Structure 1
Amino acid sequence: QQHELHQGEIIQYYGDGALSIFKSAIEAVQCAIGIQILFKEGDPVVPVRVGLHMGDIVYSKTEVYGDGVNFASRIESMGVAGAILLSGKLNDELKNQKQISTRSLGIFELKNITNPVEVFSVTNDGITVPAPSELKGKLKKPVKSIAVLPLANMSSNEENEYFSDGMTEEIINALAKIKGLNVTSRTSSFFFKNKNIPVPQIGKELNVSTILEGSIRLAGNQMRITIQLIDVADDFHFWSVTFDRSMDDIFAVQDEISLLIAEKLREHLGHFDIEDHLVDGPEIPVEIYKRYLKSRYLMLKMSKHDIDTGISDLQQIVSEYPHFTKAHLGIHLGYALLGTIGLMPAGEAFAKGQPFLDKAIELDETLPECQLNLSWISFLQKWDLALTYRHLNKGLEISSAVDFYQSMASTLGAEGKFKAALNYLETAFQIDPFSHINYHLKGFIFYAEEKYEKAIEQFEKSISLKSDSQVSIQYWGQALLLLGRNTEGLAFFQNLPDKPGDLTKLGGTTLAHAALADMDQAKTGIAELKSALQTDLIDRAMNLLILCRTMMGEHDAAMDLIKQGIGYRLPMLVYLSIEPILKPLHSIPRFQELIHQVLGEKTSFEGKKSRYKKTLLNKDLLKQYKDQLTQLMSSDKPYLDENLTLRDLAGMLEIPANQLSQVLNEGFDQNFAEFVNTYRLEMFKSKVADPNQRQLTILALAYESGFNSKTVFNTFFKKMMGQTPKAYWKEVVQ
C-alpha cells in the first residue's frame, strides 16, 4: 500500500527484507516513514530497519546489483529497529522539505565502501533515532583521522609566517609516523589557509573526524603556541592547550606537542600505538633551523627567483653544518623543482641536485625523503622499474606520505597497469583530496585508457586547483583531438595565453593542425619546436615533436626522434608506450625495440605482467592456516598474553607474519587486534559469569583476560556488545 501510494516498486524480496526503488528521494523517505509507523502501531509490533541511498543500479530479470544496492544495504545493516537511516547523498535531496526532518549521526567507515560517509537519521515523530554509539558496533571500524590546519601567525611581524608554516608541517610529519592514524597531507591542509570556512565543512571536505587548529606568536626568543582539537561530527573542542616555551628548545617542544596531540587523539578516537618520540631534532642551532624553514618556505612558492634564493641559502647552511641532512634534501628538492617545472634543463637540474641527495643518503638513508628521491631517479633517469619499486616499497614501510602513492601510481601507469595505479590513487585522494597532482594523475590514467571524457573531467579539476598546471592543460587539449573534436581542440590551444618558456600553446596548436590535416601550419609549428631542442626545453620539445610527427603519419621521423631522445635519456620517454597518439607505432618492430631500451621488458601494449605483485594464498592453504590458528587459540590461549604481537602469533604457527595478516584479513575478515580481542572478550564474559570471580573489579577481570589497556577494553567491549562493561556486569549479576 505504501509503495503504491509513493510510486515505489519492490523489485526483490529476501528472507527477511526487500529491495525497493522510487522515482524520487522524497517519495522514498515518505514511504519509509509510513511503513515504520504502521509496523509500530501493529499487534504484534514488527521490528524493521530501513536504509536509503540514491545511486545507480543494474536490474535484470534475475538479479539486482550495483554500488547503489551495496551502499543502501550497508546503511540498513548498521541501523536499529524502528529507524530510517539515510546516506548523505540522499539527505542532500531533502533540503527545504519541511515535512521531513533529519539529523546527522556522524561520519563512518562502512565495509566495502571506499571513503568514509556521513549517515543521517530521519527524526520525524514516531521514528526511532539511534545514538551514534548504537551504530558503531555495526561498523567496520571507527575513522581515526586528523587534518592539521596551518597554524596562524599571531606575531607582530608578518614575515614570521614561514615559522608558523614550518611548525605546521613538522606536526603533520610527526603525526604521519603513527600507524593507524590517517593524517591529511600538507597540500590539502594548506588549501584552507586564510579561508573563513566552518570547521565542520572543512572536516567533511577532507573526510576526517578531527581538526587541529591553533596559532604561534613569536616575541624575541620566546614563543607561545596554542593548539585546539575539534571533533568534526559534533563541532566541539575536546582539548586545548597553550605552550610558553623558549626557542632554544624548539625540537623538544615539537616532540612534546606532537606526543600530547597523539595521546589526546587516542583518548578520543580509540587505541593506536605511539612511539616514545615522534620528532628527532638535528644537532644544529635554532637560528640555522629557522633559516632552513625560511628557505623551504620560499622554494614551495614555486617561482624561479624563490627557488634559486632558497637553494642559495641552503647551500650556505650545509657549508656551515654539513651533517644537517634535511638541508641537503632541501637543495636536491630545489633542483628537482627547477627541472620538473621546466625552469632548468632536466638533465642539468638532476645532475646539480644529485650530489646533495647522495650526501643526504650517506647521512641518513632511512629518511622517507631519501627513498622517494631515489625512486624518482631510478624511474626517470635510470629507467629501472625494479629499483623504482624497491625504493617506493621501502619508503611506504616508513611513511604514509602521499608522494609515495602518487609515484607508485605514476610508475604503474607507465607500465600500463592502470587498475593498480588507480588503486594507489584512491589512497592518495584519501590523504590529499585537494592535490592537483592526484586529479592530473587520475586524468592521465583515464587518458591512457582512452577514456577521454573522464580524463577531461579530471584535468579540469586539476586546473581548478592549480590554474597554471600546464601538463593538465596539454593533456586536456590532446584528449579533445583524440575525441575527434579537432576544431574545438585547435581553439582550445589557440586561446591559451602566450607564456615565455612554455611550449603548451605552440605544441598543442601544431598537434591540432596535424589532426586537421593542415600540413603547412603543422610544418611551421614543427620548425619552431625544433628550435626549442637547442634550449632548456629540450625534453618538452622532443616529446611534442614525437607526437606531431606521428599525428602527421611520419612514423619513421617520429621513431628517429625517440632514438635521439633515448640518447639524451629524456625523462618523458617513460610514458611513450601508453600514449594513445602513438598507437599507430605499436605494431612496428622498430618502435618495440626502442621502447624496450627505455623500460626493459615492459611493453604495455603486449599486456605483460607488472613486476609489482601481491602474494596470494590459495584456498586450501588459507583453510589449513585458519584451522591451525583456531586450534592454537583454543588450546594454548595465547591471547592471555597482554603483549602478544602478530609476529609472535605467526611464530607459534611457524608461518611468516605477512601470511598470518592475510589469513586474518581474508579468512576471518578481521585485523589482528579485532581477532585477538574477540577471544579476550569471550574470556572476560566467562569470568563475569563465574560468581567466584566477582570479587575482582571489572578492570581486573579485563586485564586477566589479556587486555592491556582500559581504553582498549572499554572501546572494544562497547563496539561488540552495544553497551558498557558496567551495564553488562549489572545485567549478569541481576
Structure 2
Amino acid sequence: MEDKKVRQLAAVMFTDIVGYTALMQQDETKALKVRKKHRSVFQKQHELHHGKIIQYYGDGTLSVFKSAIEATNCAIAIQKLLQEEDGTDAIPLRIGLHIGDIVFSETEVYGDGVNIASRIESMGISGAILVSGKVKDELKNQPSISTNFLGNFEFKNVSDPIQVFAISNDGIKIPKKSQLKGKQQPGGKTIAVLPFANMSTSQDNEFFCDGITEEIINALAKIKQLKVTSRTSSFFFKNKNIPITQIAKELNVSTILEGSVRIAGQMIRITAQLIQAEDDFHFWSETWDRKLENIFEIQDEISLAIADKLREQFGHFEIQEHLIERQTDNFDAYELSLKAKFHFNKWNADDMQIAIPLYEKALELDPDHTTSLVGLADCYGFMATTGFWPFEEAWGKAEQLTKKALELNPRLTGGLYQLANFSFFISFDYKKALDLTLKALEIQPNYVDARQFLSFLYIIAGKKDAAEKQLEIALGIDPLSPETLFFNAYFHYMIEDFEKSLELLDKCLAQNEKNIPAHSIKCYCMLKLGQYDEALNYYEKKVPEDIVVQADKLGITALAYAFKKDTTNTKKYLDILLQKAAKPEGFREQSFLFLMYAVTGDFDKAFDWIKEALENKASFLFFHFADPMVKPIKNDPRYFQFQHLIFGEDFPNEKKGLKKALLDKTTTAEFTNKLIKHIKEQQPFLDSNLTLRTLASQIEIHPNQLSWLLNESMGKNFSEFINHYRVEKFKALSKDPDKSHITLIGLAYESGFNSKTVFNTYFKKETGLTPKQFLKLQEKK
C-alpha cells in the first residue's frame, strides 16, 4: 500500500533537554522525573496554544503550529515554567523555531522546515529560544515579543544562510556569540587583504610588498563601518596554497583582496583584484604603473579605489578624502622603516635588535617620521615587557618617542595605544590607560591591539561582560593571531574556565613556545585545578631556559606550596619573596605577596601589600587584583575600597557614532529627482566603467552623500541601482527588431554590462528568470 503524503506550511518547534544523556547515566530516577515534568508542561502548553505534538524523543520533541505567533508564545511559556524554580528542579531546555515546508506521511515527518528548526535549536543554549528570520517576520507587529539579531548562519544541507534571532523577553536567556555553535556567515562589509606577491626579480623586495599590504590594511581599517581582518591573521596565509573560499571561511569575511608588486629600477607596478569569496568571483581588478617616489599617492589611490568598489557592491559607508597621507619626503627613511617593521613583525628579541638600528637610521634621515618614532617605541615596549631590556630604561625610551610622535600627530592611534601601555605599566594609572585605549578605538575601531588591550583592562577590573564583548570583536578582526589567542585564554582563566584556558594556552604555545605570559597563566590554571606538583616542576621541564622570568618562577613555586598546605616550604619561599620585594626592582614579587597572603588567609597582610604596591606603582598588582586565586578576599569590605581606588567606579564606554542622515528631507527629494532624471535622459549606466564617484560628480553631489541617498533613502547599493537600469535596457533592446542579429551577451554589453557573470546574476535577481528563459517567454508572446 502506498504511503500517503501531505505537504503543508507550518511553524515547526524543536526542543532538547541539555545534558539529558549524561543525567540518565548518572541518575536514572532523576532523569525520568525531569522527562515527566518536561512532557507534562509541554502537553499542557501545546493544548493552550493550539500546537500539535508530532514526536517525543528521549530528551526532545518535535511539534508544529499553524501560527508562528502561537508557536513563539508557547515556547516562551514552556521556558519560563521549566526555568522558574531556579534550582535543582529547573530543566535546561533549548528551543528552535522555523516556518517552512513539511511533509506528513503515515510513518514520518520531514522537510526543510523540520531540518532548519532542528539546526537552529542545536546551536542554542539552555533557557534560550532561537527563531529563524521567517518566524521573526511574523512577529513584527507583536509588541509583547522582543528579539535580538544574532547573525546569518550556514547550516548543513541548507543552501542559503539563515537569519537567526533570539527571543529576548524577560526570563528568556540570550546566548552570547561565543556560545553559539553554528557557523556564522560574514556580513557584506568584511574584507581580508592577503599579502601581495613579490613579482620582482629580487627577493630582497619582499619587505616592500609586505609594507604595501600592511599600509592598505591600515588604510581600510580607518573606515569605521568596514570590518578589516588584521595583519597577523591575513599574513598567516602568506606563501600558502589554500583556496580563496577556504581562507574566507577561516577569516569569516565576504571579500578577499589579493595583488602583486613588481619593482624595476625607479618604477613600480601594483596589481590588485577583489574576489567575492562565496563563489570565487573576481568582480574588480586594476593595475597601476607609477614612479616609486610616488608610493604614498599610489597606496592612497589603491585604498580609495578598493573602498569605492566595496561600497558600490555592499552598501553605504563614508570614505575620507584620503586614507593614506604622505609619511615623509625622504624615500630612504620610508624604506628603512619598512625593513624595520619586517623584522619587528617576527616578534622575537633577535629581530628586535635588527629593527631598532633600522628605525634609528630612518630617524636620522627624518627625525619627524612618526611611523619610525612609534615603531621604535614598540620595539622598546616589547623588550621591556619580555625582560630583554631593563624595564624602566626601555619604557622611558618608549615614552619619549611616543610623546614626540603624538606632538606631531595627536590622532596617531599607534602612539595613543603605546601611551596607554606606558600609563598602565609605568605610571600605574589605570583610568588614563583606559581613556587612551578608548580614544585610539574611537579613531580606528579595527585597531586589534587596542581591542585586545581593552578586553584585558576590563577583565582585570572584574568587568567580565565588557571584556568578553571586546574579545569577540578582536577575534572577529584577528581570529588567527597568537596574541588574540592568548588574550582569549587569559579571559577564560579569569572567568574560572580553567580547562578551556589550558586548551587555548596549549594552542598558543604550539605557535610560540617562548610566549612568556602563556607559561605563567598555564601554571595558574594548574594551581586552580589542584595540579600542584605539575606547577612546581613546570618551569624546570617545560619553559625554555632563556625566557624564564625568575620572579614568576619563584611566585608560582611559593603559591604551589601554599595550596599544598606545606607550611615549611610555604614559609621558606614566602621569606624569599619578602627579601626580593624589598629591592627597587621587586615589583613582580610584591604582586605575588598579595596573592600569597590572600591564598593563606592572612588578609591584613594582603591589604598591606596592596598599599605597598600602590605606593611603589607596581603595575603587576593590576594583573592579580581580580585573580581567581584571591576569591576568598573579595568579600572583605577593604577589597571594594581598593577596587574603587585602583579602577574607579564608573567605566567610560566606547563612543558609538549615531546613524545620521547626510541630507535633509528636502535635499533628499531634490537629489532623488535629479538622479532619476539624469539616469533616464543621459543613460550613464551604459558606461561599463561607471563608478559611484563619477555619477556623483555628474549630478554635483558628494560621493558619501550619493552613497547614503542610494542605500538609506532608495534602499539599493550602487551596483543594484545601476544594474537595474542595465537590465531594463537589455529587455528593451531584446524587443528591438533591429537588434535581432546581436547575440545575448552582445546585448548585455550594449546595455552597460562588462561581465557575463554579473549580467546573469543581476538579471535573475531582477526578473527571477535567466536571460534565455526571458527571451523564450518573449518569443511566445
Q: Same fold (TM over 0.5)?
A: yes
CA distance in 2, matches of 1:568, 1:351: 17
Which one of the candidate residues 239, 244, 265 is aligned to 2:289?
Answer: 244
Cα 1:472–1:298 change in 2 (3 A) is: same
> Residues 267-286 of structure 1 correspond to what in structure 2 (within 5 A)?
267-286=312-331
Query: Residue 445 in 1 paired to residue 491 in 2?
Result: yes
Query: Residue 339 in 1 paired to residue 375 in 2?
Result: no
In the alignment, residue 412 of structure 1 is paired with which amino acid?
Y
CA distance in 2, matches of 1:441, 1:373: 18
Which one of the candidate residues 451, 460, 468 is aligned to 1:414?
Answer: 460
CA distance in 1, matches of 2:306, 2:260: 15
Which one of the candidate residues 599, 614, 621 is aligned to 1:573?
Answer: 621
Query: Residue 314 in 1 paired to residue 356 in 2?
Result: no
- Counterpart in 1 of 2:9? none
Report the Cα offset of residue 57 of structure 1: 6.6
Cα 1:111–1:257 change in 2 (3 A) is: farther
Contact 1:109–1:141 under 8 Å retained in 2: no
- Counterpart in 2 of 1:610? 651
Report the Cα offset of residue 278 of structure 1: 1.3
Cα 1:443–1:196 change in 2 (3 A) is: same
- Counterpart in 2 of 1:433? 479
Contact 1:443–1:458 under 8 Å retained in 2: yes
Query: Residue 181 in 1 paired to residue 234 in 2?
Result: no
In the alignment, residue 319 of structure 2 is paired with which amino acid?
I
Contact 2:248–2:277 under 8 Å retained in 1: yes
Query: Residue 15 in 1 paired to residue 57 in 2?
Result: no
CA distance in 2, matches of 1:177, 1:328: 20
Cα 1:241–1:110 change in 2 (3 A) is: farther
CA distance in 1, matches of 2:394, 2:338: 22
Contact 2:448–2:478 under 8 Å retained in 1: yes
Report the Cα offset of residue 190 of structure 1: 1.4
CA distance in 1, matches of 2:311, 2:765: 20
CA distance in 1, matches of 2:251, 2:227: 11
Query: Residue 305 in 1 paired to residue 350 in 2?
Result: yes
Aligned residue pair count = 593
Cα 1:486–1:277 change in 2 (3 A) is: same
In the alignment, residue 266 of structure 1 is paired with which amino acid?
R
RMSD in angstroms over aligned alpha carbons?
4.9
CA distance in 2, matches of 1:586, 1:489: 25
Query: Residue 35 in 1 paired to residue 76 in 2?
Result: no
Report the Cα offset of residue 332 of structure 1: 1.3
> Residues 318-467 of structure 1 correspond to what in structure 2 (within 5 A)?
318-400=363-445, 401-467=447-513
Contact 2:428–2:618 under 8 Å retained in 1: no
Report the Cα offset of residue 265 of structure 1: 2.3
Structure 1 counterpart SS, 2:501: helix
- Counterpart in 2 of 1:206? 251
CA distance in 2, matches of 1:433, 1:365: 30
Contact 1:443–1:454 under 8 Å retained in 2: yes
Contact 2:454–2:470 under 8 Å retained in 1: yes
Structure 2 counterpart SS, 1:343: coil
Query: Residue 640 in 1 paired to residue 639 in 2?
Result: no
Report the Cα offset of residue 328 of structure 1: 1.3
In the alignment, residue 569 of structure 1 is paired with which amino acid?
K
> Residues 72-151 of structure 1 correspond to what in structure 2 (within 5 A)?
73-74=132-133, 90-91=155-156, 102=157, 104-105=159-160, 114=177, 142-151=187-196
Cα 1:144–1:511 change in 2 (3 A) is: same
Which one of the candidate residues 46, 51, 55 is aligned to 2:116?
Answer: 51
Contact 1:88–1:117 under 8 Å retained in 2: no
Report the Cα offset of residue 235 of structure 1: 1.6
CA distance in 1, matches of 2:644, 2:179: 42
Report the Cα offset of residue 294 of structure 1: 0.8
Deviates more, 1:416-425 or 1:257-266: 257-266
In the alignment, residue 357 of structure 2 is paired with which amino acid?
S
Report the Cα offset of residue 331 of structure 1: 1.7
Report the Cα offset of residue 439 of structure 1: 3.1
Contact 1:255–1:280 under 8 Å retained in 2: yes
Query: Residue 508 in 1 paired to residue 556 in 2?
Result: yes
CA distance in 2, matches of 1:243, 1:58: 47
Structure 2 counterpart SS, 1:500: helix
Structure 1 counterpart SS, 2:275: strand
In the alignment, residue 610 of structure 1 is paired with which amino acid?
F
In the alignment, residue 354 of structure 1 is paired with which amino acid?
E
Contact 1:292–1:327 under 8 Å retained in 2: yes
Report the Cα offset of residue 378 of structure 1: 3.2
Please give the TM-score of this superposition, normalised by the length of structure 2: 0.65
In the alignment, residue 546 of structure 2 is paired with which amino acid?
P
- Counterpart in 2 of 1:551? 599
Report the Cα offset of residue 186 of structure 1: 0.9
CA distance in 2, matches of 1:451, 1:141: 28
Cα 1:270–1:309 change in 2 (3 A) is: same
CA distance in 2, matches of 1:166, 1:284: 17
Cα 1:12–1:519 change in 2 (3 A) is: farther
Report the Cα offset of residue 470 of structure 1: 2.5
Cα 1:87–1:284 change in 2 (3 A) is: closer
CA distance in 1, matches of 2:336, 2:123: 59
Report the Cα offset of residue 396 of structure 1: 2.2
Report the Cα offset of residue 18 of structure 1: 6.1
- 1:666-685 superposed Cα distances (whole Å, 9 cap, x missing partner): xxxxx9987644699xxx9x
Cα 1:551–1:431 change in 2 (3 A) is: same
Cα 1:421–1:594 change in 2 (3 A) is: closer
- 1:315-339 superposed Cα distances (whole Å, 9 cap, x missing partner): 2322331221122111211111112
CA distance in 2, matches of 1:293, 1:616: 34
Cα 1:9–1:32 change in 2 (3 A) is: farther
Query: Residue 475 in 1 paired to residue 521 in 2?
Result: yes
Report the Cα offset of residue 520 of structure 1: 4.1
CA distance in 2, matches of 1:33, 1:11: 13
Contact 2:514–2:547 under 8 Å retained in 1: no
CA distance in 2, matches of 1:347, 1:206: 38
Which one of the candidate residues 141, 155, 171 is aligned to 2:216?
Answer: 171
In the alignment, residue 640 of structure 1 is paired with which amino acid?
A
Which one of the candidate residues 758, 766, 769 is aligned to 1:724?
Answer: 766
Contact 1:639–1:679 under 8 Å retained in 2: no
Which runs of 5 or more residues in structure 2 are unaligned?
Answer: 6-53, 76-97, 139-150, 167-175, 674-707, 726-751, 754-760, 775-780
Contact 2:514–2:544 under 8 Å retained in 1: no
CA distance in 2, matches of 1:472, 1:407: 16
Report the Cα offset of residue 473 of structure 1: 2.6
CA distance in 2, matches of 1:74, 1:640: 32
In the alignment, residue 491 of structure 2 is paired with which amino acid?
I
- 1:627-659 superposed Cα distances (whole Å, 9 cap, x missing partner): xx9xx99xx667425499xxxxxxxxxxxxxxx
Report the Cα offset of residue 168 of structure 1: 0.9
Contact 1:452–1:479 under 8 Å retained in 2: yes
Cα 1:206–1:493 change in 2 (3 A) is: same
- Counterpart in 2 of 1:95? none
- 1:215-269 superposed Cα distances (whole Å, 9 cap, x missing partner): 2233332223232222111023222333332211111111121122222223333
- Counterpart in 2 of 1:99? none
- 1:444-485 superposed Cα distances (whole Å, 9 cap, x missing partner): 333333333343344344334443323233222212322334
Cα 1:118–1:520 change in 2 (3 A) is: closer
Report the Cα offset of residue 419 of structure 1: 0.7
Contact 2:55–2:63 under 8 Å retained in 1: no
